[in-house]
A = this chain, B = another copy of it.
Amino acid sequence: MTNTRYTVAIHVLTLLAYAGPEALTSEYIAGSVNTNPVVIRRILAGLRVAGLVRSQGGPGGGWQLLRAPDAVSLLEVLRAVDTETSFPLHATPPNPACPVGRSIQALLTGHFHAAQAAMERELARVSLRDLLEDVKAQPA
A contacts, CB < 8 Å to B: 1-4, 6-8, 10-11, 14-15, 18, 31-35, 74, 84, 86-95, 98-104, 107-108, 111, 114-123, 126, 131, 134-136, 138
Supposing A6-B87, A86-B86, A95-B31 touch, asked if A119 and B115 sit within 8 A by C-beta, the answer is yes
Shortest A16–chain B CB gap in Å is 10
14 A-B contact pairs sorted by A residue (CB < 8 Å): A7-B90, A32-B95, A33-B94, A34-B90, A34-B93, A35-B90, A35-B92, A99-B135, A115-B120, A115-B123, A117-B122, A118-B121, A118-B122, A119-B119
A136 to B99 CA separation, bound complex (whole angstroms): 8
